[in-house]
Structure 1
Amino acid sequence: MLRPGENVSKCIFDGDDAPNTRHFGAIDDAGGIRGIVSVYRNGHPSIEDADVYQIRAMATSPACRGQGVGNRLLTSAENYVKSQGAGLIWANARTSAVEFYIKAGYRVVSEEFVIDGIGAHYLVTKALV
């Protein structure tokens, strides 16, 4: 779902097994995965606050898009980050997903940039108060 047509090794990230990393999934009644998101305690060079979390590996199945699955996953990730006492969450949002993040209360804080092999992105942040 995250990297269609690529080897699953492309979906393994540094920090996946860290004690403060959390992985969330939306599963349907038949046990099928409908969406995923992970959050990592990870700073960003342009963010001064050291206690921030990064959203990574956010994806929903094409059949579920527009049904609130992504919003529920994002809310779960944000609630976890709040429970850890962190006040900010950030993501490298694909250009095609920026509107999703804006509607969820995120701010675009960078110019568009390209992540090699993945595509165009923007840095987005959200204060969790």
Structure 2
Amino acid sequence: MHTIKEIAAADTFSVRHPVLRSGKPIESCHFDGDNLPTTHHYGLFSDEKLIGVASFFKNRQTVFPETNQVQLRGMAILEEFQGKGFGELLLKYCEQLLKDEENCLLWFNARSHAVGFYKKLGYQIKGDAFEIKDIGTHFIMYKNV
């Protein structure tokens, strides 16, 4: 049984840490804006175990003209659950929530190895690859939801 529900920022750390910040201090899992009232965190549970997370921040990326923008950050599925459709399930659920907002642009900085996953779901690359210090190569990706 799989369920998706809104969770607290700190609850995301148990998935963010091993997937996105492995070998770094747990404090590195806290993102600026995590606790703002406009930020929302969602967890995917499999038999009540948190296996995936995604966080959505009201944040503008200046390369886009749209005024209503939401940034996806910290999208992660525990390694043993990757490649089984759980990331797609979580992201599509959250996209549906954003459809209530008029003309919403969803964007994020995708790790280079995740670009194929996002392209399969209709996201496009904007601009060239860039490096995030101590994390790796990324691309800005986006989609109007």
Given the two structures, how large is their TM-score scaled by the length of structure 2? 0.81
Q: Does 1:18 align with 2:36?
A: yes
- Percent identity for Structure 1 against Structure 2: 35
Which structure dedicates a bigger proportion of its chain to strand? Answer: 2
Structure 1 residue identity aligned to 2:72: I
Q: Does 1:6 align with 2:24?
A: yes
Q: Matched residues in 2 for 1:10 and 1:99: separation?
A: 26
Within-5 A mapping of 1:42-121 = 42-121=59-138
Q: Matched residues in 2 for 1:54 and 1:86: separation?
A: 14
Q: Matched residues in 2 for 1:40 and 1:82: separation?
A: 15
Structure 2 residue identity aligned to 1:117: D
Range with bigger deviation, 85-94 or 73-82:
73-82
User: What are structure 1's unaligned runs of at least 5 residues?
Assistant: none
Q: Matched residues in 1 for 2:33 and 2:93: separation?
A: 19
Which structure dedicates a bigger proportion of its chain to helix? Answer: 2
Instruction: Assess if the C-alpha contact under 8 Å between 1:53 and 1:86 holds in 2.
Output: no
In the alignment of these two chains, the number of paired residues is 127
Question: In the alignment, which residue of structure 2 is the partner of 1:127?
Answer: 144
Equivalent residue in structure 2 for 1:28, among 46, 71, 80: 46
User: What are structure 2's unaligned runs of at least 5 residues?
Assistant: 1-17
Runs of 4+ residues over 3 Å off in structure 1: none
Instruction: Note the aligned Cα RMSD (angstroms).
Output: 1.3
Instruction: Assess if the C-alpha contact under 8 Å between 1:24 and 1:76 holds in 2.
Output: no
